[in-house]
């Protein structure tokens, strides 16, 4: 009925939500360190004007400071670079910037008559 659990390569995708100042960045870094262990490499993709630097005394991590506009391709490029560089964990602080960009992009499409009209061109 039961079999021994064996750890295999798997990836966790986790979102932390809460109000501004609620400890999401702090908790994300603590979770990341717990996941990768004391010697694991952590990458932080920061869209909050470098605010992740405030936690540099908490644990070692490497920062990618993204600047507006927060297009999806920028996040994809940063994640791919982190993977190439051999990071064990990537923290995105915060994905709200991408969500806001996506909503603005969609609003622009709506003003042009929606996605169907834009794609016909």
DSSP state of 57: T
The model carries a pTM of 0.81
- Predicted confidence at residue 116, as pLDDT, reads 63
**Residues in CB range of 3: below 8 A, 6 or more apart:** none
Strands 62-65 and 89-93, how do they pair?
unpaired
Whether the pLDDT of residue 115 is over 80: the answer is: no
Going by C-alpha positions, the residue among 97, 59, 103, 105 that lies closest to residue 75 is 97
pLDDT of residue 101: 86
pLDDT for 118: 54
Q: What is the pLDDT of residues 54-98, one digit of tens each?
A: 999 999 999 999 999 999 999 999 999 999 999 999 999 988 888
Write out the H or E segment, with its range, that includes residue 93. strand 89-93
- Report pLDDT for 120: 53
C-alpha angle 42-53-23 in degrees, rounded to nearest 5: 80
pLDDT tens-digit readout, 1-55:
999 988 777 788 899 999 988 999 999 999 999 999 999 999 999 998 889 999 9
**pLDDT > 80? residue 121:** no
pLDDT tier at 119, thresholds 50, 70, 90: low
What would the two tokens of residue 91 be?
A: 């923290």
Q: Which of 91, 119, 111, 106 is nearest to 34 (CA)?
A: 91
CB contact at 8 A, 88 and 71: no
């Amino acid at each position: 009925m039961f079999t021994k659990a064996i750890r295999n390569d798997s990836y966790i995708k986790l979102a932390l939500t809460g109000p501004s100042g609620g400890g999401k960045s702090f908790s994300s870094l603590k979770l990341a360190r717990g996941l990768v262990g004391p010697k694991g490499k952590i990458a932080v993709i920061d869209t909050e004007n470098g605010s992740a630097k405030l936690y540099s005394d908490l644990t070692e991590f490497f920062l990618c400071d993204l600047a507006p506009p927060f297009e999806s391709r920028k996040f994809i490029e940063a994640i791919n670079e982190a993977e190439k560089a051999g990071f064990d964990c990537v923290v995105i602080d915060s994905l709200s910037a991408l969500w806001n960009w996506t909503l603005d992009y969609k609003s622009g499409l709506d003003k042009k008559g929606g996605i169907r009209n834009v794609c016909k061109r």
